[in-house]
Amino acid sequence: MGKLDKFVEVGRVAFIANGKDSGKVCAIAEIIDQNRVLIDGPCSGVRRQVCDMKRLHLTRFCIDLPHSARTAVVRRKWTAAKLDEKWKETSWAKKLESRRLRTNMSDFDRFKLARAKQ
């Protein structure tokens, strides 16, 4: 994949970088204008809403969705494409998970980790 393979298109899976649903994955259901899209992530806990493009990071995954697809259609296509499993296998998701685990470590956990590395 080259640098310009991630186009903003209906069905493109995106990572929400900031806001209330930050850290979750969603699909673009409709393009409203050059700055806003309608997103939906029924399997990842993201409700259908209008989102600013500045909040989204596009992923390499894309599902075949019709324009303005309903939530049930998005859920069916999402599970058929097994996007949850594909997302968890990416290095991006693994890096986010390891960062989350490190931030939740207590002082004693960090001490044990430092001792184990010696």
Q: pLDDT digits over 25-84, tens only?
A: 999 999 999 999 999 999 999 999 999 999 999 999 999 999 889 999 999 999 999 999
Name the burial class of residue 67, with classes exposed (0-12), middle (13-18) and buried (19+) by CB atoms within 10 angstroms of its CB: exposed
Q: How confident is the model at residue 113 (pLDDT cuts 50, 70, 90)?
A: confident
* Burial class of residue 37, CB neighbours in 10 A (0-12, 13-18, 19+): buried
pLDDT at 65: 93
- Of the pLDDT bands very low, low, confident and very high (cuts 50, 70, 90), residue 117 is confident
12-83: CATH topology is: SH3 type barrels. (2.30.30)
pTM of the model: 0.83
Specify the residue for token string 């806990």: 45
State the pLDDT at residue 1: 57
- What are the backbone angles phi and psi of residue 36, rounded to the nearest 5°? -130, 145
User: What pLDDT does 81 receive?
Assistant: 94
Domain edges within the chain: 12-83
pLDDT at 47: 95
At residue 2, the pLDDT reads: 63
Reported as a pLDDT band with limits 50, 70 and 90, residue 118 is confident
